[in-house]
Structure 1
């Protein structure tokens, strides 16, 4: 994992080599009270930005406490490093090519024209998280960013505490409750409130909103009001904030919490992406959203503000945890913290996210706490974002007859079983209508990225956690490469992936030799 650290660093080799962990506790049975469930989703957060993941610089005491009393997943990966598709995977438990949300917007025509073999996936009629919990008798509430291309609708959620989030989350201006609240306090801004800031450098600075008036604070206060209510049945509450998505602009005092000069940039910041320039990186001068021209000082400034946003989130997590504890519900509340995907932040000389699978964008924080059910542990077995829904359903004792791509982690978290060590699959499909086919397979030791052509990337995650050395053409890794390729290609064919049509005859023959 790439880390922004001082000289103290967590040993990646020991983390990756650790065995799967058995967790003590008891599994929920029908006679027990159903737990409340709280899901908190940050936006575009790298895994290495929390103290509990080994970052010695960032201050995240509340999230560290959450991790200490629950399960911390070191090898959690998103289904795709793109906002809307990844979020839909959290709520459906399936890959983007199955739930059908494969882009940020659904109405932009392809600038590249048709891609041979591509068929736009039809959205499978799978019940979403809110629908399943509502049908099971839960009171369901959503607060904040949705960004799943359904407009103002939140499938299955009985109550929407705030619609503020992404511009596509509202269908008319009057539905943006935060904008109205900010206007009443005298704030004047145009566009998205998250982007209203005073600049200190390229895409970073300080928010125009005071701490208590900030959009994320506003959302969490709405959530805390919900948590403090009297509830006569179990509830599912999902809270989704915009931070730490760019522009990196925390409110005061978080904009000055970290001295940019104290930021030690990851080693791979000095390394340009794959020298062979995979197809998705070729169409842009210097690379995809290149950070090639960014100075060290600019990157440090951006990182300082990015970490400031993370610490602001941590403060908000503390408020929610306090609200749960003061109502006496802490012992019967599942709290899950995660994000949609990460951010390159200059690593591999790239900005933002895109059609690549570096850990900076694909590896995500995942923390699960349930006092008395899940004890403090570090799970190194690879898991997927698609596992979130099946796990929460299992915790709540909700039956789900649908076929999900994710698996429940609950049996292992309850101490009944170990997690099977199996590969994780990631995909990238389109960006604003342009096709960027990328597929990846991740194991505890290796990662292979397939660009549907001669290009590709193979990394030894244990020996090269910064993903600097591409081993695709290394003779010593031919057997490893072949094994990963056959598993990946077989997965494409087995899962009905539309891009399986682009596999060559040789790749199909290789897939046929894979064992399930």
Structure 2
């Protein structure tokens, strides 16, 4: 992918956001003061000194698969009509805690040091003294945070302050309302994953007034209120704002219902677990007549992969699905869909508030998820971390000035985007400096000029996927590459996976030992060695020419991928 680096000046930023017919250039730019901001951005000018930069609102779901968008009709319609969907969007470390640290820093996990959600590599390992928030605030933005932060925020001590984190407020946030996990001895009830009793650290004080209220609706209400306050302040000061809203949905959480699928242990000692989100009774049953199986179980009602002998050791150890498993997974899928549907209503509420306050036409809205989720594929009852497509892929929807009312049907992009790229793009929008050496690259060029093709591999990494020891892996147990056609992953114990995603979108046939594909393996291993510990611009090194693809080829391959996924797994 030909990715643009951060734009040099607000004038160039404005030219990009108006989707001008000619690409922005740095040659002899006109002074910013000579051109009205409204002319550059298409934003209503309310004062001579109005800041032309857009507001940025990011809404992040938790564990939302790309195909879960089918349960979010309002959000889907909004972006189909007024925005752009990135069809190749990836979480390079598909696990909540590392993924969120990556968004906040713009760095891969091997650079920011958060590898897991438990000590010693969870929240307690996160240095959040420099994040996207500190950069945007330094650039003149008002900043607000709402909802889930990193796993174990509230339980572990802050790496920055050294103090208990349930009252710690990270730097850079003008308004902070972070959901906290309950340490049990801090004198409050509720917590992040209690859907009926969420607790917040609100500017250093605990706010747990929400017992009996559904947390998705609480976050939705609070996000609209926060947006309203920020809009009022922008009207008075002209200062743009950044609002980062984090839903817990559809991640599993308490309380349990009587009809939640129970875990069980088989004769070989394997524990079959089926986590679900809590959904209020008034929202239950909405999709029971549609969801007849988990999304990773075929239309036939059976798993698609009978033989996993070519998979890593941990996957080979997974037992075959039983009828009891399939019934439990169906119930979990229904509850996740119901949970996503409620979140969909709250996204719509936030948009209505932005429109009511006359800020919608100057706001870039992003909807995404921290990671995907396996739900039946490769024998996983539920799972993430692994470099399989349902785990890596996340929805990424963007709308903003210049993207609305186009009516040309061009609401899809096929260039690859990963989480560090999203961070780089937000900083680009704000003309802000990155908080650390940036591993990603802005995709504003794709928004403005359309797709450029896929040149740069997506680096993937994980822990807890293999045993063994290897200095080449550092603290990771697997490291992979994703190109336009190939998915390759190397494991610390010496195992390897190679998939041709054009011929095998379901990743059923591991080609690692295929003599026919020996050259592909050799070439990608060389790229792997160059990128595995990359930093900054080194993470944007293009693949060899044979492993790049132009825009039309990437689009055709991606459409083919999703067509095959729908043919095998789609609901009626």
Q: TM-score, normalised by structure 1?
A: 0.74
Q: Are residue 78 (structure 1) and residue 122 (structure 2) matched?
A: no
Q: Given that residues 387 and 480 in structure 2 are in contact (C-alpha distance below 8 angstroms), is that contact kept between their aligned partners in structure 1?
A: yes
**Judging changes above 3 Å, is the alpha-carbon distance between structure 1 residues 47 and 104 closer, same or farther for their aligned structure 2 residues?**
same
What is the CA deviation profile of residues 114-143 of structure 1, one whole-angstrom value per residue up to 9, with x for unaligned ones?
A: xxxxxxx99789831110111111111111
**Pairing partner for 2:245 from 211, 221, 239:** 239
The alpha-carbon deviation at position 351 of structure 1 amounts to: 3.2
SS in 2 for 1:140: strand
Query: What residue number does 1:334 align with?
Result: 364
Q: How does 1:105-504 map to 2 (within 5 A)?
A: 105-107=118-120, 127-147=130-150, 150=158, 151-152=165-166, 153-164=168-179, 166-167=181-182, 172-174=186-188, 179=190, 192-194=193-195, 213-229=213-229, 230-231=232-233, 232=237, 233-246=239-252, 247-259=276-288, 262-263=291-292, 265-267=295-297, 269-271=303-305, 274-281=308-315, 286=318, 294-373=324-403, 376-400=410-434, 402-415=436-449, 418=452, 421-430=455-464, 437-495=477-535
| 1:254-283 superposed Cα distances (whole Å, 9 cap, x missing partner) | 32110166435435634268424424447x
Instruction: Tell me, in whole angstroms, the C-alpha distance in 1 between the residues paired with 2:380 and 2:517.
Output: 27
Aligned-partner SS, 1:50:
helix
Residues 62-73 of structure 1 mapped to structure 2, 5 A cutoff = 62-73=75-86
1:378, 1:397 → 2: CA distance?
25
| Secondary structure of the corresponding residue to residue 295 of structure 1 | helix
Measured in 2, the distance between the counterparts of 1:59 and 1:347 equals 22
CA contact (8 A) 2:17 2:401 kept: no
Bigger mean CA offset, 389-398 vs 271-280? 271-280
Assess if the C-alpha contact under 8 Å between 1:342 and 1:364 holds in 2: yes
User: How many Å separate the matches in 2 of 1:132 and 1:278?
Assistant: 41
Q: What is the SS of the residue equivalent to 1:64?
A: helix
* Residues matched between the structures, number: 433
Cα separation, 2, equivalents of 1:261 and 1:34: 43
Q: Which structure has the larger Rg over C-alpha atoms?
A: 2
For structure 2, which runs of at least 5 residues remain unmatched after alignment? Answer: 1-15, 26-30, 38-51, 159-164, 198-209, 253-275, 469-474, 537-542, 549-572
CA contact (8 A) 1:30 1:397 kept: no
Q: Kindly report the root-mean-square deviation, in angstroms, between the aligned alpha carbons of the 2 structures.
A: 3.8
Pick one of 29, 42, 47 that aligns with 2:66.
47
* Residue 215 to residue 122, structure 1, CA distance change in 2 (3 Å): closer
Judge conservation of contact 2:86–2:397 (CA < 8 Å) in 1: yes
Unaligned regions of 5+ residues in structure 1, if any?
A: 1-21, 52-57, 110-120, 180-189, 197-209, 497-510
Q: Give 1:446 deviation, angstroms.
A: 1.4
Q: Deviations over 1:457-505 (max 9, x none)?
A: 2112122222222222223322222222211121125449xxxxxxxxx
Q: 1:71 to 1:93 in 2, by over 3 A?
A: same
Q: 1:482 to 1:325 in 2, by over 3 A?
A: same
- Residues 263, 303 of structure 1: 8 Å contact kept: no
Alpha-carbon spacing, 1:493–1:82, altered in 2? closer, same or farther (3 Å):
closer
Report what 2:268 is aligned to. none
**Partner of residue 6, structure 1:** none
Cα distance, 1:67 vs structure 2: 4.1
Contact in 2 for aligned 1:37/1:334 (Cα 8 Å): yes
Secondary structure in structure 2 of the residue aligned to 1:466: coil
TM-score, structure 2 as length reference: 0.67
Question: Is 1:37 matched with 2:56?
Answer: yes
Note closer, same or farther for the CA distance 1:216–1:300 as it changes in structure 2 (3 Å cut).
same
Query: Using the alignment, how far apart are the partners of 2:492 and 2:111 within structure 1?
Result: 20
Equivalent-residue separation in structure 2 for 1:271 and 1:409 (angstroms):
36
In the TM superposition, residue 387 of structure 1 has moved relative to its aligned partner by 0.8
For the 8 Å contact 1:331–1:370, the answer to whether it is kept is: yes
Distance 1:47 1:163 in 2: 25
The answer to which structure, 1 or 2, has the higher relative contact order (CA under 8 A, 6+ apart) is: 1
The 1:454/1:411 distance shift into structure 2, 3 A limit, reads same
SS of residue paired to 1:71? strand
